[in-house]
C-alpha cells in the first residue's frame, strides 16, 4: 500500500489551485457563502410554538407561527418554545408509552420512590404521586431569567409538596385532604415561580395516587374497612333514628290532641249537664208536681223501649198479672208462669 507525504499533498494542491486561478476559487467561496446565508436566513415556527430570535446572543424579538426570515447563523439564531401547549411534569412515576390509546406508567423503581415517599405531620410514610401542568407565559423569562427552568419547576414542586404534606396528618392526606393539598401546593408554587421570574403559569396540580407504603398496605386496608363498617353502622342508626323519631313525635302529638279533644268534650258535656240541671231546678221550684211528673215520664220513655215484659204488682194479689208483652209476641201466660216471681224480685217494673 503506497504512503503519502503530507508535504507532497500540499504541494500538489497548490499546483492544482494555480491551474484553476484565484478568481475561480473566489467565486466558488462566494457561492458557498451565499448558499449558506440563504439556507440559514429563513425558518418556520409551528402553530403551537413561539420563536425567540437572538442577535449576537441578546434577545432581539419574538415571532409567532409561520414562515420568517432572519440574519444568517452567526449573527442571529432562533429558539423555539411550545407556548401554546400545556406542559406536564410527573413526580413519583413516568409515562412510558401511550400506544394503542392506552397509557402505561412506571412507578415502582427506586428513583421514583425517592421522590414519592415523604413524611406526614404524624411521622407516617406516604407514597404520593402527582403531576404539575403549566404553560410558558413569557418565553424570554423562561429561557434567560432562570438557569434550567424545567429543573427549577421540578425542585420547587417537590419542596412545596413535602412541606404541605409534612404539615398534615397521614390519615388526612390519604383520605379527605387531597383536594386541599393540591390547591395549597398550586398557590404556593405559583408564588415562588413568579418571584423567581420563570415566566410560567400553572394550570393544575393533581394528586394521582396517594397510598401507604407496600409493607403496611394490608394493615391500612383493614383500618379502612373498619372505618367503613363504622360509618355504615352510624348511617344505619341515623336512618332508623330519622324514621322512628318523627313517627314517635307524630304519635305524641296525636295523643295530646286526642286528650285535649276529650277534655274539651267532657268539659262541654259537664257544663251542658250543669246548665240543664239548673234549668230543671228552676222549673221544679216553680211547679214541683209538674216537674216531677215530667221527669218520671221522661225516664219511663227511655226505659220502657228496652223492657221485654210489663208486670203490675199488687200487695193484695197472690200472683202477678201480666198486662202487656213489650217484645211484640202476644203469647198467653199460664197461671203457673204468672205465679212465678221475676228474676229481679218483687215490686215495680221488671225487665
Is 277 contained in some domain?
yes
Domain range for 324 is 307-351
Cβ atoms of residues 76 and 52 within 8 Å: no
Rounded CA separation 110/8 (Å): 61
Is 248 contained in some domain?
yes
| CATH number of the domain that residue 156 is part of | 3.30.479.30
- For residue 297, the tally of other CB atoms under 10 A from its CB is 10
Is 155 contained in some domain?
yes
Indicate whether 206 and 91 sit together in one domain: yes
* Final residue before a domain boundary, out of 177, 212, 247: 212
C-alpha torsion sign, points 249, 255, 258, 264: negative
Indicate whether 28 and 102 sit together in one domain: no
Please choose, from the candidates 44, 144, 131, the residue with its C-alpha nearest in 3D space to the C-alpha of residue 87. 131
Give the pLDDT confidence score for residue 280 in this predicted structure: 81
Give the pLDDT confidence score for residue 104 in this predicted structure: 54
* Final residue before a domain boundary, out of 157, 192, 212: 212
Indicate whether 27 and 109 sit together in one domain: no
Residue 135 gets which letter from DSSP?
Answer: E
Give the pLDDT confidence score for residue 313 in this predicted structure: 67
Is 66 contained in some domain?
yes
Give the pLDDT confidence score for residue 189 in this predicted structure: 96
Q: How many domains does the structure of the chain reveal? A: 4
Rounded CA separation 222/69 (Å): 66
Indicate whether 76 and 105 sit together in one domain: no
Give the pLDDT confidence score for residue 81 in this predicted structure: 93
Indicate whether 100 and 176 sit together in one domain: yes
Instruction: pLDDT tens for the chain, 351 residues: list them.
Output: 556 566 776 677 666 666 666 666 677 677 777 777 767 788 889 999 999 999 988 888 999 999 888 888 888 889 999 999 999 999 988 887 655 545 555 655 667 888 889 999 988 889 999 999 999 999 999 999 998 999 999 999 999 999 999 999 988 888 888 999 999 999 999 999 999 999 999 999 999 988 888 787 788 778 778 888 999 999 999 999 999 999 999 999 999 999 999 999 999 999 998 888 888 888 778 888 888 888 888 888 887 777 776 666 666 666 655 555 555 554 544 444 444 444 444 444 443
Indicate whether 93 and 201 sit together in one domain: yes
Cβ atoms of residues 78 and 124 within 8 Å: no
Is 323 contained in some domain?
yes
Indicate whether 332 and 351 sit together in one domain: yes
- For residue 44, the tally of other CB atoms under 10 A from its CB is 12
Is 1 contained in some domain?
no
Rounded CA separation 105/90 (Å): 10
Give the pLDDT confidence score for residue 349 in this predicted structure: 40
pTM equals: 0.56
Give the pLDDT confidence score for residue 334 in this predicted structure: 47
Cell digits of residue 259: 286528650
Collapsed DSSP state (helix, strand, coil) of residue 258: helix
Give the pLDDT confidence score for residue 201 in this predicted structure: 96
Query: CB within 8 A of 131, min separation 6: which ones?
Result: 88, 89, 90, 91, 205, 206, 208
Amino acid at each position: 500500500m503506497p504512503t503519502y507525504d503530507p508535504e507532497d499533498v500540499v504541494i500538489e494542491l497548490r499546483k492544482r489551485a494555480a491551474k484553476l486561478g484565484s478568481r475561480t476559487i473566489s467565486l466558488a467561496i462566494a457561492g458557498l457563502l451565499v448558499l449558506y446565508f440563504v439556507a440559514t436566513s429563513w425558518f418556520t415556527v409551528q402553530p403551537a410554538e413561539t420563536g425567540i430570535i437572538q442577535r449576537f446572543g441578546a434577545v432581539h424579538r419574538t415571532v409567532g407561527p409561520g414562515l420568517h426570515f432572519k440574519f444568517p447563523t452567526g449573527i442571529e439564531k432562533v429558539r423555539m418554545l411550545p407556548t401554546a401547549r400545556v406542559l406536564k411534569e410527573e413526580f413519583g412515576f413516568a409515562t412510558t408509552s401511550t400506544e394503542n390509546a392506552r397509557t402505561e406508567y412506571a412507578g415502582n423503581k427506586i428513583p421514583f420512590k425517592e421522590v414519592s415517599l415523604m413524611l406526614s405531620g404524624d411521622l407516617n410514610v406516604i407514597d404520593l404521586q402527582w403531576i404539575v401542568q403549566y404553560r410558558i407565559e413569557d418565553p424570554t423569562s423562561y429561557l434567560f431569567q432562570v438557569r434550567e427552568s424545567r429543573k427549577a419547576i421540578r425542585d420547587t414542586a417537590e419542596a412545596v409538596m413535602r412541606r404541605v404534606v409534612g404539615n398534615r396528618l397521614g390519615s388526612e392526606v390519604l383520605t379527605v385532604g387531597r383536594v386541599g393539598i393540591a390547591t395549597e401546593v398550586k398557590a404556593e408554587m405559583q408564588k415562588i415561580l413568579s418571584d423567581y421570574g420563570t415566566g410560567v403559569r400553572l394550570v393544575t396540580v393533581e394528586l394521582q395516587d396517594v397510598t401507604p407504603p407496600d409493607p403496611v398496605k394490608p394493615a391500612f386496608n383493614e383500618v379502612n374497612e373498619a372505618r367503613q363498617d363504622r360509618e355504615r353502622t352510624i348511617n344505619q342508626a341515623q336512618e332508623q333514628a330519622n324514621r322512628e323519631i318523627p313517627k314517635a313525635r307524630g304519635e305524641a302529638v296525636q295523643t295530646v290532641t286526642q286528650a285535649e279533644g276529650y277534655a274539651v268534650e267532657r268539659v262541654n258535656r259537664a257544663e251542658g249537664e250543669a246548665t240543664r240541671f239548673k234549668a230543671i231546678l228552676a222549673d221544679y221550684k216553680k211547679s214541683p208536681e209538674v216537674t216531677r211528673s215530667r221527669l218520671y215520664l221522661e225516664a219511663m220513655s227511655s226505659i220502657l223501649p228496652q223492657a221485654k215484659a210489663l208486670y203490675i204488682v199488687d200487695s193484695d194479689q197472690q200472683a202477678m198479672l201480666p198486662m202487656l208483652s213489650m217484645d211484640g209476641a202476644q203469647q198467653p201466660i199460664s197461671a203457673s208462669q204468672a205465679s212465678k216471681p221475676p228474676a229481679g224480685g218483687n215490686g215495680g217494673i221488671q225487665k
